[in-house]
């Protein structure tokens, strides 16, 4: 067996000389806590490089930071509505250009679907009310389901027409029966049907109401 | 992806694209490849916002998509590409040094927008340059186009992969996502455009090109009603080429520091000649004969052939081994050892870090162990001529900092500690990785601190901006000196002091970020080059 049995005496199982401590020498203290968060350094850091190139890059960096915030790629988080609308906010809004990506290069599911937008504000409204509301009128509900079915068919034909006209983004010609689209349509209709157990006479501004339906203003309020 | 990298990516995405894109991007980096609905569900954001965020990320080449079986499209984030956003100022500045203002603006537009068509770039850059010129002068599109073509020829910009034009006899449904391809020879092919026009000033009194009234917000890319001639051909900045340039710069300046200006010019010439012939990931450049080098030296340098030969011999004999001799034909064939050069640069970085952090005696021990590869405790003390106690202390400090590691060599099969050799050694690759990780953490800390400082003084900054805006508008409408003075006094002296301090701190933090990024570049290049060789 390696090492010597010390019979209760403190003895090392290896040759302490090899690691560099002499016999009987005081060993360094045992560390009982993690190192400090901001340790003192004996040596101060070297000063930064300074020169024309570095100054220019610094200015560039700060400019780029500001420019990025104004580009259309910077998506701002929608703020909650404040109780008092501040006058200054109106004048500090930055006018951004709209950016439309090249849909030919992106997967088809990226396109915001028109009927999703139609359903968008509706399902947003409904979501806002919360899922806890119970239906009070079964007749109401049945009416809604009928409405939905009719609208579902109407939307399908709407989409067909729209896609036939808009030849740029979709190269398909009038053939709508691909699985992905059908699946998505079905899923969305289910979503709508589920949500429509609730009273629709409420109209509450969802957070994304403006953002969703900015180019679909023929949507009537229900 | 390490936690430090993810944190840094999160900070960068948030600064450049906002919180929503940051959330989606970080989620993708953490979890790998995911389809759209899973992303929406896991992050708890609405589908619409996820789509917008993904569009932005794909546009900037930060996320790629792939079609899997059953038509599911999965999105994957490129963490290393996100980290490149730190280096944008350096890319733009390099373009400025090589191709002056026009090149600088072209690269800046491409980096800010991810991908653009050539016509869009030319138009935008011409407009921007015209703004800076004196009244009455405008920038011609042709000049901007020329610079663009030069950038493409030297491979600083490249074409993005595009959808191949398939014949319409395809009867089945189109794929859920386009498959983008690009061939090597097409990558730098500039389309034949005849862009005629001049840059426009935004302040001019005529209406927009499309005749829309000024009140309407211009939609990007649909300004003119004519079809864009190079529609669908997008260009992006070729970051690898920039990296090759940085690497060459680093090697040349290292040689200049070690030897003299002339030898660095020789090395620069050799590197320039190998730019197109050698891919940047090769360990050696193609062999170049001394005669070729002599012919390609820059015109101003008139050193004789013999002097050049002497320089080359000196370079080849140097222990750093940047240049190697591979043959004798043509007056001597010489190569540049790119991998060794990167290794030397990384090692120099490590040594410098040890010196600045632990002191010059530690650095002496470090260099000693580097040179001798494996040393025992006793040998370290002897060779370094440092007393035992101090040497021990230093070795352990470096050991706990992971710059040095211990290698055990057992004498007996049972690995008894008393009968084992313990040797100190430096593993450059793992030390470089450790240092790189630390650099990522440092930059994340720097960015956080800068954001904290800015947030603390937000009120003051806004106030000073408002005052500046007021002063500017008053000056435009013509105001007296007294009134301007009054407005300026709205900011009190201590507030001015505070603003000065803030500005100085923010500048320092920004400059530090840029410098740490240089170290990151060196270490990453070295690690990449080493991994390629294995």
Quote the ipTM score: 0.85
Kindly give the parts of chain B with pLDDT less than 50.
167-171, 204-225
**What per-residue confidence (pLDDT) applies to B454?**
93
- Looking at CATH, the fold of the domain delimited by B3-77 is given as Arc Repressor Mutant, subunit A (1.10.10)
pLDDT digits (tens, 9 = 90+) for B449-464: 999 999 999 998 988 8
The number of C-alpha atoms within 13 Å of B510 and in the hemisphere containing its C-beta is 24
The number of C-alpha atoms within 13 Å of B235 and in the hemisphere containing its C-beta is 26
In chain A, the percentage of residues whose pLDDT exceeds 90 is: 8
Is the pLDDT at A214 greater than 60? The verdict is no
**What per-residue confidence (pLDDT) applies to A35?**
79
Chain A residues within an 8 Å CB radius of B218: 97
**What per-residue confidence (pLDDT) applies to B248?**
93
Order of strands across the sheet that contains B234-237? B116-117, B234-237, B157-159
Cα–Cα distance, B48 to B491 (Å, whole number): 44
- Nearest of B360, B318, B315, B355 to residue B334 by alpha carbon: B315
pTM of the model: 0.77
B 167-226 residues with CB < 8 A to A: 168, 173-174, 176-178, 180, 217-222
CA B429 to chain centre: 21
Chain A residues within an 8 Å CB radius of B375: none
Q: Are A83 and B153 in contact (CB under 8 A)?
A: no
3-state secondary structure of A81: coil
Q: What is the mean pLDDT of residues A150-174?
A: 45
**What per-residue confidence (pLDDT) applies to B354?**
94
Helices (H), B18-78: 19-31, 36-43, 47-59
Is the pLDDT at A70 greater than 80? The verdict is yes
**What per-residue confidence (pLDDT) applies to B428?**
94
Q: At what angle do helices B428-456 and B458-477 cross, to 10 degrees?
A: 60
The number of C-alpha atoms within 13 Å of B65 and in the hemisphere containing its C-beta is 27
Decide: residue A173, CB within 10 A, 0-12 exposed, 13-18 middle, 19+ buried.
exposed
Higher pLDDT, A124 or B319: B319
Cα–Cα distance, A83 to A115 (Å, whole number): 33
Chain B residues within an 8 Å CB radius of A18: 376-377, 417-418, 420-422
Annotate B76-126 with three-state secondary structure: EECHHHHHHHHHHHHHHHHHHHHHHHHHHHHHHHHHHHCCEEHHHHHHHHH
| Cα-based distances in Å from A199 to A188, A195, A212 | 19, 10, 22
Is the pLDDT at A197 greater than 90? The verdict is no
Q: How confident is the model at residue A205 (pLDDT cuts 50, 70, 90)?
A: low
Cα–Cα distance, A204 to A63 (Å, whole number): 40
Residue B198: phi and psi, rounded to 5, are -130, 160
Higher pLDDT, B71 or A154: B71
Cα–Cα distance, B363 to B348 (Å, whole number): 11
Is the pLDDT at A60 greater than 80? The verdict is yes
Query: What burial letters (b/e) apply to B348-362, b meaning 16+ CB within 10 Å?
Result: ebbbebbbebbeeeb
**What per-residue confidence (pLDDT) applies to A9?**
54
Cα–Cα distance, A212 to A216 (Å, whole number): 9
Is the pLDDT at A221 greater than 70? The verdict is no
Chain B residues within an 8 Å CB radius of A49: 511, 515
**What per-residue confidence (pLDDT) applies to A192?**
46
**Would you state the CATH architecture of domain B341-426?**
Orthogonal Bundle (1.10)
Cα–Cα distance, B128 to B30 (Å, whole number): 39
Q: What is the mean pLDDT of residues A185-191?
A: 43
**A60–B93 CB contact, under 8 Å:** yes
Which of A20, A21, A104 lies nearest to residue B232, judging by beta carbons? A104
**What per-residue confidence (pLDDT) applies to B218?**
38
Helix-, strand-, coil-residue percentages of chain A, each rounded to 5: 45, 0, 55
Higher pLDDT, A121 or A53: A53
Is the pLDDT at A168 greater than 60? The verdict is no
**What per-residue confidence (pLDDT) applies to B232?**
76
Q: What is the mean pLDDT of residues A44-71?
A: 90
DSSP for A44-68, written as a single string:
PPPPPP-SHHHHHHHHHHHHHHHHH
Is the pLDDT at A18 greater than 70? The verdict is no
Give, in words, the CATH class of B86-165+178-201+231-237. Answer: mainly alpha
**What per-residue confidence (pLDDT) applies to B24?**
92
The CATH code that applies to domain B240-336 is 1.10.10.10
CA B96 to chain centre: 15
**What per-residue confidence (pLDDT) applies to B389?**
87
**What per-residue confidence (pLDDT) applies to B224?**
46
């Amino acid at each position: 067996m390696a090492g010597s049995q010390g019979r209760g005496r403190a003895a090392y199982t290896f040759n302490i000389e090899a690691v560099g401590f002499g016999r009987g020498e005081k060993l360094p203290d045992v560390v009982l806590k993690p190192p400090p968060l901001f340790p003192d350094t004996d040596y101060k850091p070297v000063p930064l490089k300074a020169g024309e190139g570095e100054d220019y890059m610094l200015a560039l960096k700060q400019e780029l930071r500001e420019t990025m915030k104004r580009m259309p790629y910077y998506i701002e988080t929608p703020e909650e509505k404040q109780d008092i609308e501040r006058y200054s906010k109106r004048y500090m809004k930055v006018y951004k250009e709209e950016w439309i990506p090249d849909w030919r290069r992106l997967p088809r599911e990226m396109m915001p679907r028109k009927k999703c937008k139609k359903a968008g504000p509706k399902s947003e409204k409904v979501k806002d009310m919360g899922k806890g509301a119970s239906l009070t009128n079964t007749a109401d509900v049945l009416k809604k389901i009928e409405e939905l079915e009719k609208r579902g068919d109407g939307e399908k034909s709407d989409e067909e027409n729209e896609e036939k006209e808009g030849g740029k983004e979709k190269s398909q010609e009038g053939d709508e029966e691909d699985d992905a689209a059908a699946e998505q349509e079905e899923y969305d209709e289910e979503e709508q049907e589920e949500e429509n157990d609730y009273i629709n006479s409420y109209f509450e501004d969802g957070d994304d109401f403006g953002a969703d339906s900015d180019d679909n203003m023929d949507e009537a309020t229900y | 992806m390490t936690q430090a990298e993810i944190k840094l990516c999160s900070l960068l995405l948030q600064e450049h694209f906002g919180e929503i894109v940051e959330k989606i991007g970080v989620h993708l980096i953490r979890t790998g490849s995911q389809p759209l609905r899973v992303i929406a569900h896991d992050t708890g954001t609405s589908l619409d916002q996820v789509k917008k965020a993904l569009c932005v990320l794909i546009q900037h080449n930060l996320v790629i998509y792939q079609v899997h079986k059953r038509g599911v499209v999965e999105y994957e984030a490129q963490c290393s590409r996100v980290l490149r956003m730190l280096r944008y100022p350096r890319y733009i500045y390099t373009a400025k040094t090589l191709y002056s203002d026009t090149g600088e603006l072209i690269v800046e537009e491409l980096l800010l927008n991810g991908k653009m068509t050539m016509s869009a770039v030319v138009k935008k850059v011409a407009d921007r340059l015209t703004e800076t010129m004196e009244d009455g002068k405008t920038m011609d599109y042709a000049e901007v186009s020329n610079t663009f073509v030069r950038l493409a020829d030297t491979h600083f910009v490249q074409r993005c992969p595009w959808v191949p034009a398939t014949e319409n006899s395809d009867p089945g449904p189109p794929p859920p996502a386009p498959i983008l391809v690009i061939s090597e020879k097409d990558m730098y092919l500039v389309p034949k455009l005849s862009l005629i026009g001049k840059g426009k000033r935004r302040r001019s009194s005529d209406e927009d090109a499309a005749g829309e009234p000024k009140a309407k917000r211009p939609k990007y890319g649909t300004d003119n009603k004519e079809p864009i001639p190079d529609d669908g051909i997008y260009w992006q900045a070729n970051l690898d080429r920039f990296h090759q340039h940085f690497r060459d710069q680093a090697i040349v300046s290292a040689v200049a520091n070690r030897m003299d200006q002339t030898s660095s010019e020789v090395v620069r010439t050799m590197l320039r000649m190998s730019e197109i012939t050698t891919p940047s990931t090769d360990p050696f450049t193609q062999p170049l004969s001394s005669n070729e080098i002599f012919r390609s030296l820059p015109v101003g340098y008139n050193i004789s052939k013999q002097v050049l030969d002497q320089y080359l011999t000196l370079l080849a004999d140097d222990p750093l081994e940047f240049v190697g001799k591979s043959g004798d034909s043509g007056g001597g064939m010489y190569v540049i050892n790119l991998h060794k050069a990167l290794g030397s640069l990384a090692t120099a970085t490590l040594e410098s870090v040890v010196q600045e952090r632990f002191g010059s005696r530690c650095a002496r021990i470090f260099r000693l162990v580097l040179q001798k590869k494996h040393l025992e405790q006793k040998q370290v003390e002897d060779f370094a001529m440092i007393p035992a106690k101090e040497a021990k202390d230093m070795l352990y400090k470096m050991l706990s900092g992971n710059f040095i590691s211990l290698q055990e060599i057992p004498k007996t099969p049972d690995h008894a500690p008393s009968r084992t050799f313990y040797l100190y050694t430096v593993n450059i690759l793992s030390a470089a990785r450790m240092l790189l990780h630390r650099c990522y953490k440092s930059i994340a800390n720097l960015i956080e601190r800068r954001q904290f400082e800015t947030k603390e003084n937000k009120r003051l900054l806004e106030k000073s901006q408002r005052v500046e805006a007021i002063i500017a508008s008053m000056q435009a409408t013509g105001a007296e000196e007294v009134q301007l003075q009054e407005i300026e006094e709205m900011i009190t002296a201590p507030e001015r002091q505070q603003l000065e301090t803030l500005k100085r701190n923010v500048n320092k933090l920004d400059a530090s970020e840029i410098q740490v990024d240089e170290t990151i570049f060196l270490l990453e290049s070295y690690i990449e080059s080493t991994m390629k060789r294995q």
